[in-house]
Copies of this chain bind each other. A is one copy, B any other.
Amino acid sequence: MKTTTTIKEMSILRREIAGSLGFVPTMGYLHEGHLSLVRKARAENEVVVASIFVNPTQFGPGEDFAVYPRDPERDAALLLKEKTDIIFMPSVEEMYPPGFDSWVRVDKLTQRLEGASRPGHFQGVTTVVNKLFNIVRPTRAYFGQKDAQQAIVIKKMVADLNMDLEVVVLPTVREEDGLAMSSRNTYLNPEERRSAPILFKALTLARERCKQGERNADRIRQEIISLITGNPLAKIDYVSIADPDTLEELSVLNGPALASLAVRFGKTRLIDNILLD
């Protein structure tokens, strides 16, 4: 396994690769969710590249960029175990040199849900992912369904800008009690951690209601909200039942839908989602 911190060296390594390349872009502090992406990349490609970069441009002012958990040595050990070929770990200065001033933006899709709650977040995501795709030039890039809107936005960018790669989205990996794995789970205190599985419980309830034949999206939304607000530690940011392609809110369920939510426990903001169909 090679580790490189410079774009130049990564580009040189890339030129030596002739076969298929699977790429897993991460912000590090890896958990089983990330590792499931690496395993799939390993199974489907001749070469596997993972990046570790806590991208400042996708954090808003007052968000958790400075305290986002980092453990590059542990990450490298985990990636080695999964037979990753190359780790790309650039510094902030390497990715955003002084005077950096070019941005990639997906418009409508990013004005909803996470985009509405976190202005500028998706411009940071699409810009850094565009750069990483140009540097690594993957055959396939792997993302988790946990960040559902991110996956949809990146697919849209790749299609609209004619980027020559396949975006693969893999299921959310969960703790035994249903909590979606996230590097941010580490922020939760024990009491918050005990409450957090309420998110998946609420989403599972939504899916059950849908399977029972409920077609009124407002009623399902209201059930999710009632269940979560029953927990005194949970503060809802949004609860959405939306078209999985356009992310427009639905009032009637008559096809696939994405139930997604963002909820704060103390200072920690968690997101989760489930597909209804």
Q: Does A269 interact with chain B (Cβ within 8 Å)?
A: no
CB atoms of B104 and A104 under 8 A apart: yes
Which residue of chain B has its CB nearest to the CB of A106?
B102
A101-B156, A102-B157, A156-B101 are contacts. A134–B108 as well, Cβ < 8 Å? no
Q: Which residues of B contact A102 (CB under 8 A)?
A: 104-107, 126, 156-157, 160-161
* Alpha-carbon distance A126/B127, docked complex (angstroms): 14
**In the complex the two chains form, is A101's CB within 8 Å of B164's CB?**
no
Which residues 126-170 of A have a CB within 8 angstroms of B?
126-127, 130-131, 134-135, 137, 156-157, 160-164
A107-130 toward B: CB 8 Å interface, digit per residue (1/0)? Answer: 111000000000000000011001
Q: Can you name the residue of chain B whose Cβ is closest to the Cβ of A134?
A: B162
Oligomer: number of copies: 2
Given A102-B156, A156-B101, A156-B102 in contact, is the A161-B131 Cβ separation under 8 Å?
yes
- Closest Cβ of chain B: how far from A123's Cβ, in Å? 9
CA distance A137 to B165 in the complex (A): 13
Q: Is A7 located at the chain interface by the 8 A CB criterion?
A: yes
B residues in contact with A106, CB < 8 Å: 101-103
Give the chain B neighbours of A160 by CB distance below 8 A: 100-102, 131
Sample of 9 more A-B contacts, CB < 8 Å, known A101-B160, A137-B164: A101-B106, A101-B108, A101-B156, A102-B104, A102-B107, A102-B160, A103-B105, A104-B105, A135-B162
Ordered by A's residue number, 8 sampled pairs between the chains whose C-beta atoms are within 8 Å are: A101-B109, A102-B104, A103-B106, A131-B162, A134-B161, A134-B162, A134-B164, A135-B162
User: What string of 1s and 0s marks CB contacts (under 8 Å) between A53-88 and chain B?
Assistant: 000000000000000000000000000000000000
Q: Which residues of B contact A127 (CB under 8 A)?
A: 161
> In the bound complex, how far is the Cα of B107 from the Cα of A104, in angstroms?
11
CA distance A109 to B99 in the complex (A): 10
| A121 nearest CB across to chain B (Å) | 16
A104 contact set on B, CB distance < 8 A: 102-105, 161
Residues of chain B within 8 A (CB-CB) of A107 are 101-103
CB distance from A16 to the nearest CB of B (A): 14
Residues of chain B within 8 A (CB-CB) of A130 are: 161
